[in-house]
Structures are given as C-alpha cells and as structure tokens.
Amino acid sequence: MEFPAPLAPLQQDVAALAAVWAAALPEFGVLPFGAQGEIELMSDPGLVSVTDAVARLRRDADALLVRVAAEVGRRSGPEFGTEGLAKKNGFSTPTRLLASSTGGSAGEAARLLAVGAATASRQDFSGASRPARYSHVAAALEAGVISVDAAGAITAMLDRVAPRADAALAEGIEKILAERAADLPLSLLLRVIKQAEARLDPDGAEPRDEERWQGRSLTIRENRNGMTELTAHLDPESAALVKAAIEALVSDGLRSKGTGTGTGTGTGTDGSTGSSEAAAGVEPHHRP
C-alpha cells in the first residue's frame, strides 16, 4: 500500500528515531525487555538524541492533529445544525469530541481547534485557495519547528490586536515571532509576545492597566485556629509595595530572633503576636 503523502513526515521521524535509538544502546550484551529497560542502558549523548527525535515526532504528530482538529471544527459549525459532525457523533461541541479522542482537557481541545482555524488555508467565494490567516505560523507548525502551545500563544495575541493593529506590521511581527518560537523556550517566547502586543496595540495597554487596578482586592479573615488569613489580588505596582513591606518585616523578625533583642514582629515573652513567618519560627518561602 502506498504511504499517504501527508504522513511522510511521521514516517521519516519514526525512521530517524529508530536510528538514534539503536545508536544509543550498547553494542554488545543482551537487551532487557521493554522501553524503560532499553532507555536505562542508553548513553548520555544517545539519550539526548532520542529525546530530540521523540520531540520532533511529537511536534509533527501535533501539527497533523491541528489539521484534523480544524476540519472537525469546520464540519461541526453551527450552520450544520444537528447534522454537524460533533452532534452526529453524540457530542454537543467539537471541543468535547476532540477532548474525548485525545483524552486531554477541554482547554487543550479548544486550543487545537483555535490553532487549526487560525492556520488552515482558506477559500474565497470563487473557490480559489487562499493562504491561512496566519501563514507564517502555519508554515512553522507544518515544518515541525514550533509547538502547538507556541503557535496558540502567537495566534491568540494576533487575534486580540487585529481590530486595531496595522495589518502589514502585524504580519511582519508574526513572521518574527514564528522564527523566534523555533529557538526560544515557551516561557521566554511569551515575554516576547507580550512586548510585541504592546507594540502592535499601544492604546490597548492603558485599558488593561486600568482593569488590573480596578480588579484589586484584599480579604482578611481569622480562621477557627485563630490564625489570620490574607488573600490579595494586586496589580504589579501595588504588589511590589506589599512585597517590599512583608520582606522588611521578615528581615526585622530574623534579626530580632538572631540577637534575642529588639522589638521585632514575632511572639515575644510578653505574649504579643506579630505577623512575620520568620518571627514565628517558620522559614519564609518565596515562589520562584
């Protein structure tokens, strides 16, 4: 049977994985049964090569899954009513159908659908083919050089700014982001995307700052054990002030505990109680 052309990247990936897998194992000796046993025998460089090969296979498989998701979404559109693909198969939405197939979350399925729609080629009224809405991301995804998460982050940002951003500038930034996504870890890429969004939609930054300011809140309650619980939602500027104040209290508490003198903020011999974790004998923890 002739191998379908769209599956050729997966076939090549499996062949490449088989090659690096064999090269990573010892030349002599009896191999144990099962993947874990063989992986445990791999050399360090070989294990890295196998990791890269499996990751490449995953990216190409995910790119194909995105294309499948796009078609599932198209055939499940509201215009099809009860004859839509999802409803015909017993699902209220294409998101639920995909989540059932992948075994993943609804959020993951929604991301597959969104990226699929943003990177699928289109047709005009005459039936002629048109490029995808975000053709540079689509090309990078199809080439297997970026992940679905990276593609989703880029296309979601571009969708947000589309009503206000200059189209030519947005396309240029899309191209840059698609190229950078191939080299940057996702955490750094998200920072770059945030900077790009501010450049494409400078007027949108001020309303977002106002929303954060209006969304601030602080809840103080005493639980049944007599401990005071603080729950806060703070904008970055307010959070910086609060964090600085807490760190100052913690530092004072540590100094007082270390010297045995001073006013401190902890529990003293007179029974007074403070709010510092350090003064209470608990080492402060800072989330990295």
Task: Dig out the tokens for 70 from the structure.
Answer: 């796009």
| Interval 172-230: pLDDT, tens | 999 999 999 999 999 999 999 999 999 999 887 555 666 667 778 888 888 888 898 88
Burial of 228 (0-12, 13-18, 19+ CB in 10 A): exposed
Summary mean pLDDT of the chain: 85
Pairing between strand 217-222 and 228-233?
Answer: antiparallel
C-alpha to C-alpha distance for 243 and 141, rounded to whole angstroms: 41
Mean pLDDT, residues 156-181 taken together: 95
C-alpha to C-alpha distance for 20 and 270, rounded to whole angstroms: 69
Beta carbons of 121 and 161 less than 8 angstroms apart: no
To the question of pTM greater than 0.85 for the whole model, the response is no
Closest CA to 70 of 121, 34, 27: 121
According to the model, what pLDDT value does residue 257 have?
Answer: 61
Domain ranges in the chain are 1-120, 145-214, 216-288
Lowest mean pLDDT among 238-247, 252-261, 276-285: 276-285
Examine the pLDDT at 282 and tell me if it is beyond 50.
Answer: no
Query: What secondary structure does DSSP assign to 1-22, as a single string?
Result: -PPPGGGHHHHHHHHHHHHHHH
| Interval 176-192: pLDDT, tens | 999 999 999 999 999 99
C-alpha to C-alpha distance for 149 and 65, rounded to whole angstroms: 13
Mean pLDDT, residues 254-271 taken together: 50
| Interval 13-23: pLDDT, tens | 999 999 999 99
| Interval 100-146: pLDDT, tens | 999 999 999 999 999 999 999 987 777 788 889 999 999 999 999 99
